[in-house]
Chains A and B, each alone.
Chain A
Amino acid sequence: MADDGHWSTDAASCSVGYNEGMPVALPFVTRREIAREYRPDGTVSDESAIRSLRDKQSLSAGISVVARKGSGKLGGRLHVYSALNREAARAARRHDYVLAVRIAKAARALESTPEARRVTSFLVEAIALTTTADLARVLSEPELLPDITSLQRRYAEALRKLDIAGPALFTGYVAQITETEAWLDLTGLSARVAIPRVVVDLAGIGAVGAAIAASWEILAGGRTLMTVEPALDAVPALNADGAPLVDVYGTPWGRVLSETDAEALLITGAPTIAIPAGIPDVE
């Protein structure tokens, strides 16, 4: 995908490991992601798109982050926005400004939460922060987990209250990279998806194990817009109510078993359980 497409051209390293965690889409995004939701054809600059959304009150104020480097030097400057602004940008693209304004208000409320403030305070201490991939890497820090989980819950609640479905979104990992292709392992899809390698390289996630969020949006006229971006790693999954998917003992679903259970999973061929007649066959 070219520079004017839907993927970042920022050079960035990605140190996210394949740990069978639960990748989730970023709770904060940069103006680039929002501008591309608004103008996926890339016919206007990011600055122009953001200005237009602001003029239409379809964008929250966001939070400015100036990352500190060692010795007080600047490590990067980034303005982050609640990911809800992407939905506002989509609504504005469809000229549904009433909805866009409502979403922007919800985004503003989310950016004002204590969790959002704590997370952005943490970003200030990041060593280098200039790209979305940097943002994803820093937001995946374990100590942010409670706040990120809470923000995900608030995000899901806001979507539900606003009655927004959004595009089909899948998260997962880059599973394999060849000279020309990247294979994506996306939770909920039965087979790996191959995309041109340049797509993940340009998004700063061109490494096996990188956590990704991939979405498909059907545009007017039947075109399909696919977006592949960095995601957060190792965050407990949330259900549709925005509640963390953990078992009764607090362990995230999908992470109860690990490679240490390989032996227990060996099928012996000698069943230990017998199911007598009369036990209901529940569909």
Chain B
Amino acid sequence: MRVDELTVRAATSADRELLAAFSCSSGEPWEDLIEEQVRGPLIGRYLSTPPYFDGRLLLGLDRAGTLLVIGAHHIEPTLHPDVGYTEVVAVALEARGTLVELPGGERVSLGHFMLLTIFRQMRRLGRHRRTFVRVDRRNARSLSLLHRVGLAEQQADPDNAELVRRWGELP
């Protein structure tokens, strides 16, 4: 699909039903976790976030209003400038494999597209140049995507042995 066929906007309380029906898991435990969060508490957390966390929940929809991809990021406010943490990127199960064609001819996956959209928003918001995600260490699909996007520096997660952190630097 062409990029102009996609709309990315901030989630509102009217999107609760849309998210409650969102499906992104093919049965892997790390995908089940994210699907459960997206269908459940994620939107509540992001829509009523204290301002110092500046939570952003983005939805990517096609022209028919079908929700294809979501992204959620907030800041870790104890550092200056605030560090952007991408908490969730999830692609709808039925939209897996969809490629987004950018004006320069480059084609990226929906997950890749959402990460780049988040990173552009982080730049607009003046976030720390260094940014990171947490990901299940078994999640090869996401680890590969993160490598392509530019989050290649991997560290063990000190709080959860099942996770790794991937770091990168914004332009």
Residue numbers of A with Cβ under 8 A of B are 20, 187-188, 237, 239-241, 243, 245, 247-249, 251, 253-254, 256-258, 260, 264-268, 270-283
Q: Does B15 contact A (CB under 8 A)?
A: no
Q: How large is the interface on B (under 10, 10 to 19, 20 to 34, 35 or more residues)?
A: 35 or more
B68 to chain A, nearest CB (A): 13
Would you call B137 an interface residue if the criterion is a C-beta within 8 Å of the partner chain's C-beta atoms? Answer: no
Residues of B within 8 A of A (CB): 3, 6, 8-10, 33-34, 37, 41-42, 44-45, 48-53, 58, 74, 76-79, 83, 85, 87-88, 102-104, 106, 113, 116-117, 119-121, 123-124, 128-132, 134, 149-153, 155, 158-160, 163, 165, 167-171
Nearest CB to that of B90 among chain A residues?
A: A248
Residues of A within 8 A of B77 (CB): 187, 254
Question: Do the beta carbons of B134 and A256 come within 8 Å of each other?
Answer: yes
Contact call A280/B120, Cβ cutoff below 8 A: yes
B114 to chain A, nearest CB (A): 10
Chain A positions within 8 Å of B9 at CB level: 282
B131 to chain A, nearest CB (A): 8
Could you list some 18 contacts between A and B, CB below 8 A?
Answer: A239-B45, A241-B44, A243-B44, A247-B85, A248-B34, A256-B159, A260-B158, A271-B150, A272-B152, A273-B116, A273-B149, A274-B171, A275-B116, A275-B119, A276-B116, A280-B8, A282-B120, A283-B124
Give CA–CA (A281, B124) in the complex, Å. Answer: 8
CA distance A218 to B113 in the complex (A): 47
17 new A-B contacts at CB < 8 Å, known A254-B76, A265-B130, A267-B130: A239-B45, A239-B49, A240-B50, A249-B159, A258-B158, A264-B155, A265-B83, A270-B169, A271-B170, A272-B152, A272-B168, A273-B168, A274-B171, A277-B103, A282-B9, A282-B10, A283-B10
A264 x B132 contact (CB < 8 A): yes
Measured CB to CB, the closest approach of chain A to B146, in angstroms, equals 10
CB-based nearest A residue for B56:
A282
Contact partner, A278, options B102, B158, B160, B170, Cβ 8 Å: B102
The chain B residue with its CB closest to the CB of A186 is: B52
The answer to whether residues A278 and B134 also contact, given A239-B49, A254-B76, A254-B77 and a CB cut-off of 8 A, is no
Would you call the interface of chain B mostly helix, strand, loop, or mixed? mixed
A265-B128, A275-B123 known; A251+B160 contact, CB < 8 A: yes
Contact in complex: A187, B52 (CB < 8 Å)? yes
Residues of A within 8 A of B49 (CB): 239, 245
Residues of B within 8 A of A278 (CB): 3, 102-104
A163 to chain B, nearest CB (A): 16
Interface contact A249-B171, CB-CB below 8 Å? no
A275 to B131, CA, bound (A): 14
**Contact present for A271 and B171 (CB under 8 Å):** yes
A240 vs B47: C-alpha distance in the bound complex, in angstroms?
9
- Asked if A188 contacts B51 (CB within 8 A), the reply is yes
- Known contacts A248-B88, A275-B120, A281-B120; is-contact A243 B41 (Cβ 8 Å): yes
Q: Are A240 and B119 in contact, CB atoms less than 8 angstroms apart?
A: no
Q: Which of A187, A248, A274, A283 has the most CB of B within 10 A?
A: A248
State A278–B77 Cα separation when bound (angstroms). 30
Residues of B within 8 A of A251 (CB): 159-160
CB-CB nearest in chain A for B121: A282
The distance in angstroms between the C-alpha atoms of A239 and B158, with both chains bound, is 25
B19 to chain A, nearest CB (A): 14
A257 & B79 in contact (Cβ 8 Å cutoff): yes
